[in-house]
């Protein structure tokens, strides 16, 4: 075990891990926004909209994330979408996780007792108002855990964008292998940094979960 090497590369790796954090946050934001839209489609009364939502989920869950990243980054320019690696990675990862997150959101909404919507409607609330004030506040609590699981998967999934040369943690690790020939130390450090990020995320999720549980 080359402790000195670990000490030397550590600052660079922390820097790279920060890029992973930024990438995760950006794709999380894209993912949540898209997921809200897709879940809305999937819960719509309009058959065509439901179908579009379902198709989105099937496509993005039914194909490898790596291929989605390649398709956007390498295939994009062919159809006039030219993106930097970081942007392409964030968007592809966001669109991918959105499919899973949409299902988490839909699951939360569907888990709220039907009687809640009926009680709201019978008071005279419209469908949207009933959603907004009665169903969603209850569903939100049920969504936190599953969305948290999606977010953790997303953070770990960011490693995939190393393949399109986004200088994040995994890419940095691979680059250092070539110059040091110490894969054990390097990947151990990499793994520890991922674990710290995931741990931080689970702490946030726990807090949110408890905050919501206390409220009800």
Q: Residues interacting with other proteins, by CB under 8 A?
A: 113, 115-116, 118-127, 129, 133-134, 137-138, 141, 215-216
Minimum distance between the CB of residue 214 and other proteins, rounded to whole angstroms?
11
Minimum distance between the CB of residue 99 and other proteins, rounded to whole angstroms?
28
Residues 6+ positions from 99 with CB-CB distance below 8 Å: 35, 38, 56, 57, 59, 60, 61
Minimum distance between the CB of residue 134 and other proteins, rounded to whole angstroms?
6
Minimum distance between the CB of residue 47 and other proteins, rounded to whole angstroms?
15
Residue linked to tokens 């909404």 = 109
Nearer to other proteins, 129 or 165 (CB): 129
Nearer to other proteins, 106 or 141 (CB): 141
CB atoms within 10 A of CB 115: 9
Residues 6+ positions from 60 with CB-CB distance below 8 Å: 68, 95, 96, 98, 99
Contact by Cβ (8 Å): 24, 94: no
Nearer to other proteins, 15 or 111 (CB): 111
């Amino acid at each position: 075990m080359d402790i000195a090497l670990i000490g030397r590369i550590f600052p660079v790796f922390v820097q790279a891990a920060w890029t992973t954090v930024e990438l995760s946050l950006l794709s999380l934001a894209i993912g949540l926004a898209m997921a809200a839209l897709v879940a809305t489609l999937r819960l719509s009364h309009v058959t065509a909209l439901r179908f579009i939502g379902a198709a989105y989920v099937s496509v993005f869950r039914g194909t490898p994330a790596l291929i989605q990243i390649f398709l956007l980054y390498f295939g994009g320019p062919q159809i006039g979408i030219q993106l930097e690696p970081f942007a392409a990675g964030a968007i592809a990862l966001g669109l991918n996780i959105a499919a899973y997150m949409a299902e988490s959101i839909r699951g939360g909404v569907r888990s709220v007792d039907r009687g809640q919507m009926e009680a709201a409607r019978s008071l005279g609330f419209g469908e949207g108002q009933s959603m907004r004030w009665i169903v969603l506040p209850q569903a939100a609590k049920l969504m936190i855990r599953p969305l948290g699981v999606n977010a953790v998967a997303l953070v770990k999934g960011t490693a995939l964008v190393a393949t399109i040369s986004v200088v994040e943690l995994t890419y940095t690790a691979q680059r250092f292998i070539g110059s040091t020939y110490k894969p054990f130390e390097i990947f151990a450090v990499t793994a520890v940094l991922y674990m710290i990020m995931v741990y931080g995320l689970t702490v946030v999720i726990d807090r949110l979960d408890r905050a919501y549980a206390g409220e009800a």
